Structure 1
Amino acid sequence: MADKRQKILTYKEYANWGEDERCEVLDGKIISMAPSPQPSHQEISMQLSIEIGSILRGKGCKAFAAPIDVFLFEDTHHKWIDENVRNWVIPDLIVVCDPSMIKRNKILGAPDLVVEIISSSSAKIDRIDKRLAYQRAGVKEYWIIDPANQLVEVYRLRNHSLELQDVFKREDIIPVHVLNELEIDLAVIFPERDE
């Protein structure tokens, strides 16, 4: 694995790896080759997917949970070739409202909403590297979920910058700004803690 991290990688090369190997790449450099997430991460991801997915059922927007490759800087209007792609991420959850972005095995372009669930090993990547990439790509809304502290940081795109709008706690109801009618009760998302 160490030698894979050192080289500049294209999506075409990555597509030839084994199915159990996943990574995220920005500017051709691997930024994350994380092992499978912890159960608390998966529980939050599952509950959030259920909540958002059920509200979106039958509507134009679609929710996707990891793993799904997102080509942030590619779009459906240009001919794109996998060997030229040097930027892709695998967010924990995304919402896409433009059906032309949804391809057989990837998403082309910036999702409307991106959610990352951080761990101690991914916090810097999610807060800095990926936030800046999402900002550059034009993601409208970005959530960083902190399972350890049961907090959600909500960033919204304003003047080409993803700015922190608010921080929500377990007892809060969080609005999804890109989906006007959608609100999420965080008590449903975060597991109860034993005192």
Structure 2
Amino acid sequence: MDMWICTGHWEMEGRKMADLAYDETKTNPQYEIINGEVVMQARPAMYHIKIAGRLYNMFFNFLKGKRCEAFMEPDLFLNENQNFIPDVVVVCNPDIIRQDGIYGAPDLVVEVLSPGTGKRDRKDKKDAYEAAGVREYWIVNPADKSIEAYHLVDGKLILDEVYQIYPDWQWAKMSEEDRAKAMLAVKVSLYDDLVVDIREIFEP
């Protein structure tokens, strides 16, 4: 009888704690510090999560046994005014990896756009990544199924290429020459043999 009461009590407490955790997640979104200002972030949509997860898995599987490592949604501390939570990063310097986050510039950063984040990702964060010395920066747009790939050249993140899956109606109107020029595979600058097929990334 005592055991039954105890078990029931803990189950009830467990439900209460789960409810509280759910409420906490829904009402208290994560935040970033951008240019010294706290910016609240809503949790990403499911398609956003799928895209980020696919990219992370591709990097993780490729990098097994290699010097670099992939991380998903780490706390990234560039300096006291810039504390981001990028979707995916690749880090080749183990000295900047700590248990509570990454302290310094990753070699590659991926930001998947959410509604309302485009300006920050393309301007504020890009400038911060550039100043920190991030070698490669991807801006992934789920809405138009594109990836903007920036490479660090002489201290500046320069747009190298835009990779995009075209809608069927637009693809049908394109010439064979234009189709042949369509960029559907992103070559990662860190490794000559690491190529990402964007058709796999943007699957429904």
The answer to whether TM tops 0.5 is yes
Matched residues in 2 for 1:135 and 1:191: separation?
30
Question: Are the counterparts in 1 of residues 32 and 41 from structure 2 also a CA contact under 8 Å?
Answer: no
Matched residues in 1 for 2:187 and 2:68: separation?
16
Tell me the secondary structure at the aligned position of residue 37 of structure 1: coil
Cα deviation code 1:145-167 (max 9, x no counterpart): 00010000000011111010100
Match for residue 57 of structure 1 among 35, 41, 64: 64
Tell me, which stretches of 5 or more residues in structure 1 are unaligned? 1-17, 74-84
Matched residues in 2 for 1:34 and 1:22: separation?
5
Number of the residue aligned with 2:78: 72
- TM-score in terms of structure 1 length: 0.79
- TM-score in terms of structure 2 length: 0.75
Q: Percent identity?
A: 38
Match for residue 176 of structure 1 among 188, 196, 203: 188
Number of the residue aligned with 1:26: 34
Matched residues in 2 for 1:158 and 1:188: separation?
29
Whose relative contact order is higher, 1 or 2, with alpha carbons under 8 Å and at least 6 apart?
Answer: 1
Between the two proteins, the alignment pairs up a number of residues equal to 162
Structure 2 matches for 1:12-161, cutoff 5 A? 21-30=29-38, 32-66=39-73, 68-73=74-79, 85-161=80-156
* Residues 1:130 and 1:162: Cα distance change in structure 2 (over 3 Å): same
Of 172-181 and 148-157, deviating more is 172-181
Q: Which has the higher helix share?
A: 2
Following superposition, which runs of at least 4 residues in structure 1 exceed 4 angstroms of deviation? 18-21
Q: CA RMSD in A?
A: 1.6
Tell me, which stretches of 5 or more residues in structure 2 are unaligned? 1-23, 166-182
Bigger Rg over Cα? 2
